[in-house]
Amino acid sequence: MYRPLNFATFVLAATSLAGAFPAHRSLAGLSNEELAVILPRLEVAPPENPPGPLNDTSAKLVNDADHPWKPAAPNDMRGPCPGLNTLASHGYLPRNGIATPAQIINAVQEGFNMDNTFAKFVTYAAFLVDGNPITNLLSIGGKSSLTGEDPPNPAIVGGLDTHAVFEGDTSMTRADAFFGDNHSFNQTLWDEFADFSNRFGAGKYNMTVAAELRFQRIQDSIATNPTFSFISPRYFTAYAESTFPIKFFKDGRQTDGQLDLDVALGFFRDSKYPDDFFRPNGPQGTDGIEELAIAHPIAPGANNGTLNSYTPDPNSADFTTLCKLYTDFVNLTIKGLYPSPTGVLRDALNRNLGFFYEFIAGPDCPQVFPYGQ
């Protein structure tokens, strides 16, 4: 029987969106035509208010009987963040690796004592670029069973694995996307992490090691990745993440700032707390980030398509223009991914943009409204 090919059917067939559109799959970058087809098929879950701070922020046992480690099942999502991977593998997050922003904030607070405003900033940044504002779900990566599909099936590779909006180059234990796999633990890079900890930290990872390794990883990318990009927001997250192992992976009863390598490896490779692990004592925020940048100053920039061609980019925010980190992320990155949202999508984006703003809110950095108020 002849059936006219309507526009919606055409879009679905033509864009590999045919069949089920997974509820966690990001809507970022889809055209209005695609959104018009997909949105009616999704169950709307309105944004929840973000959780407040913990009442009790003391160090305490978090690898407890209620949160046993279990290996990821083949369809569970895992990605580039060893913190979120660990929370999922211990059941602080849904073990399938698909979570709401509120679940992520609760988990990073409960499981790692991440500071409330910082947790909101990071979570809503990631959610706005890599999550689904309609279903209120974010995937922490792709399926743990890599299928090697080429081109990658976005139902399998997605969420936080998405390159260049949050995930980026010059990670400590994950390779640059240029080399193919941007999110799995990489043994070669781990060996460099261990080598630097031996050379600069007498066998431990500490802030001295963090500064040297951060600089070395940038040099590695300049020399080996022609597409290397080190502009905002990656410029900031790379320095921030270099401080995370010391803040979050060190046992909360320890006060010396020296992280054991076998403990670090358990988090980075196995998404696993050590036995008897206590979370940090007191909320952990942004301390130490600039200290790493100052140790080896380097301006935001990029290679120009060839190796060893690092060129500073004066348009990128840096540590002297923190409000620009926020305004560019909203006005350029998010607006670029969602140029003209309407209806329930616009409302959801606006709510989440409001939560994202809370971290930086103040008279020196007024809120920006790319979609009106």
Ligand X SMILES: *[C@@H]1O[C@H](CO)[C@@H](O)[C@H](O)[C@H]1NC(C)=O
Binding site for ligand HEM (CB under 6 A): 80-84, 104, 108, 112, 114, 119, 122-123, 126, 160, 166-168, 171-174, 237, 241, 244-245, 248
Site pattern 320..349 for ligand X (x: CB under 6 A) = -------x---x------------------
Q: Three-class SS of residue 77?
A: strand
Find the binding residues for ligand X in span 225-284 (CB under 6 A). Answer: 257
Give the one residue of 24, 78, 120, 183 binding ligand X; rule: CB under 6 A: 183
Report the nearest approach of ligand HEM to the CB of residue 33 (Å): 29
Count of residues that interact with ligand X, criterion CB under 6 A: 29
Nearest residue (beta carbon) to ligand HEM:
83
Q: Which part of the chain contacts ligand X (CB under 6 A), choosing from 16-24, 157-165, 235-243, 314-322?
A: 157-165
Nearer to ligand X, 206 or 333 (CB): 206
Q: Which part of the chain contacts ligand X (CB under 6 A), choosing from 16-24, 64-72, 132-140, 172-180?
A: 172-180
Residues in the chain: 373
Q: Three-class SS of residue 168?
A: coil
Site pattern 40..69 for ligand X (x: CB under 6 A) = ---------------x--------------
Nearer to ligand X, 201 or 341 (CB): 201
- The one of ligand HEM, ligand X, none whose footprint includes residue 181, by CB under 5 to 8 A per kind, is ligand X
- The one of ligand X, ligand HEM, none whose footprint includes residue 80, by CB under 5 to 8 A per kind, is ligand HEM
- The one of ligand X, ligand HEM, none whose footprint includes residue 126, by CB under 5 to 8 A per kind, is ligand HEM
Residue 162, CB half-sphere, CA atoms under 13 Å: how many? 22
For the four alpha carbons of 212, 214, 219 and 221, in that order, the dihedral sign comes to positive
- The one of ligand HEM, ligand X, none whose footprint includes residue 177, by CB under 5 to 8 A per kind, is ligand X
Give the one residue of 49, 188, 255, 320 binding ligand X; rule: CB under 6 A: 188
- The one of ligand X, ligand HEM, none whose footprint includes residue 236, by CB under 5 to 8 A per kind, is none
Structure tokens belonging to residue 99? 């979570």
Backbone angles phi, psi at 323, to 5 degrees: -65, -35
- The one of ligand HEM, ligand X, none whose footprint includes residue 155, by CB under 5 to 8 A per kind, is none
DSSP 81-105: -HHHHHHHHTTSS-TTSEE-HHHHH
Distance CA 184, CA 182 (A): 6
- The one of ligand X, ligand HEM, none whose footprint includes residue 72, by CB under 5 to 8 A per kind, is none
Q: Does residue 182 belong to the site contacting ligand X (CB under 6 A)?
A: yes
- The one of ligand X, ligand HEM, none whose footprint includes residue 119, by CB under 5 to 8 A per kind, is ligand HEM
Report the nearest approach of ligand X to the CB of residue 330 (Å): 7
Nearer to ligand X, 42 or 241 (CB): 241
Could you give the C-alpha distances from 156 to 144, 159, 233, 367, in angstroms and in order?
A: 9, 9, 25, 35
Give the one residue of 131, 141, 201, 341 binding ligand X; rule: CB under 6 A: 201
Give the one residue of 34, 161, 169, 318 binding ligand X; rule: CB under 6 A: 161
**Binding residues for ligand X, per CB under 6 A?**
55, 152, 157, 161, 163, 175, 177, 179-183, 186, 188-189, 201-202, 206-208, 257, 304-306, 309, 327, 331, 368, 370
